[in-house]
Amino acid sequence: MIDFLATEIGPRTAGSPAAGRAAEAIAEALRAIGLTPRMQEFPLLGYEADEPELEVAGERLSAGPCVYAHPTPDEGVAGRIRKIGEQPRDFGNGKPAPAFAVEDENGRELGRIYANPVYGEAIPFLSLQHLQITVGPTVYVSVDDGERLVALEGAPARLVVRGRFVPGLQERNVLAELAGSSDETVVVSAHYDSVWRGAGAIDNASGVESLLRIAEALTGGDHPRTLLFIAFGAEEPGLVGSRYFVHEAKLRGELDRIVGVVNLDCVAHGEPLELMVGPDELRGRALEHIARLGLDQRYRLEITTPGPGTDHYWFAQEGIPAVSVLHFPYPEYHLPKDVPELADERKLADATELAHALVESQLARPVVRG
């Protein structure tokens, strides 16, 4: 599935025909395992990114588009840069990521420049502060260029953003249920979309591959609780598919049946082995499985509480015990260089075995909600 999604299909941005082909491929893989998948469709305001332009003090800087950023006029906007704040950065050098405004002579903001808030180069990313309707012309620069811009405050800058909003699209989550003795349900999930120009082998064809391995291992047996496998669409523009699923389930009175979530994202490359996990009881179980499998001897561990970075987040916000398993970050993140050759079978197998153990644990005895 890593090869197929990343190479045969390639970039599969939310709402695109390529994303639709990816969903169908995943559904077919679930059928081959013996499950009966269904599509949960939802409307989507899409976004077509394009190559932005950024010049500061006469120097052209590499810039990545910000999803749902409103465009500038064709000629761009020109002003001077001013540092306006910082975003926390949990990875890489750990320093906060500076944020800058491009302002006119009256101090009016014309555009915005964010340093990469994760790791490495100028990547396509989403706004961490604003929803779609409030994202002005914005670009991302590399970690290094963000640090250089701090010393260039007041320098002249020119910014061109060419992204387009695309209304009327359809996206879908791929769902497959394996009934157990109880309708209490454990969700196993991964997203399948990728970023602009990104093949997304690690992010997140690797998570889909892991999900399918777990589904194959669990299909055919009897389980005390029900399993629901979900391949989420539209994760990259802000966890849209998982948010839609959770809100619909809550509206329809179905969310209370979900007793746990195990999510897989970026599981075949990168350091450290990270778990976003809560509440404390589930964290304790995860640490026990890590020790039993010897993963604490092979990897540096990063254990955090559930945050808004992956699809388990909306479940955790509703008090559902949830964990997301990752090997993260890695230098090729969100870049065209995220290709199948990066996939490390040992890391993929270890993450899958850990996630499988956490699924089995919650099937046998759900964690008490936090």
What pLDDT was estimated at residue 91?
63
Contact 65, 123 (CB under 8 A): no
pLDDT digit string (tens) for 224-262? 999 999 999 999 999 999 999 999 999 999 999 999 999
pLDDT digit string (tens) for 4-54? 999 999 999 999 999 999 999 999 999 999 999 999 999 999 999 999 999
pLDDT-based confidence at 318, cuts 50/70/90? very high
| Percent of all residues in the chain with a pLDDT value above 70, rounded to a whole number | 98
What pLDDT was estimated at residue 221?
86
Which residue reads 């250089």 in tokens? 148
What pLDDT was estimated at residue 199?
97
What pLDDT was estimated at residue 92?
54
Question: Does the structure show a pLDDT above 60 at 93?
Answer: no
- Check: pTM over 0.85? Answer yes or no: yes
Question: Does the structure show a pLDDT above 90 at 129?
Answer: no
pLDDT digit string (tens) for 330-354? 999 999 999 999 999 999 999 999 9
Other CB atoms within 10 Å distance of the CB of residue 133:
9
pLDDT digit string (tens) for 215-228? 999 998 899 999 99
Per-residue DSSP letter, 341:
G
Query: ∠ CA 129-134-139 to the nearest 5 degrees?
Result: 65
- Helix H, strand E, coil C: the string for 242-286 is HHHHHHHHHHCCCHHHEEEEEEECCCCCCCCEEEEEECHHHHHHH
CA distance 332 to 209: 19
What pLDDT was estimated at residue 89?
79
**Domains in the chain, CATH or no CATH each:** 2-48+167-364 (3.40.630.10), 53-162 (3.50.30)
Please state, rounded to an integer, the average pLDDT across all residues of the chain: 96
Residue 283 makes CB contacts below 8 A (sequence gap 6+) with 275, 277, 303
Question: Worst-scoring range by mean pLDDT, 3-7, 88-92, 363-367?
Answer: 88-92
Contact 240, 46 (CB under 8 A): no
What pLDDT was estimated at residue 104?
97
pLDDT-based confidence at 111, cuts 50/70/90? very high
What pLDDT was estimated at residue 369?
85
Helix (H), strand (E) at residue 315: helix 313-317
Average pLDDT over residues 114-142: 92
Phi, psi of 147 (to 5 degrees): -70, -35
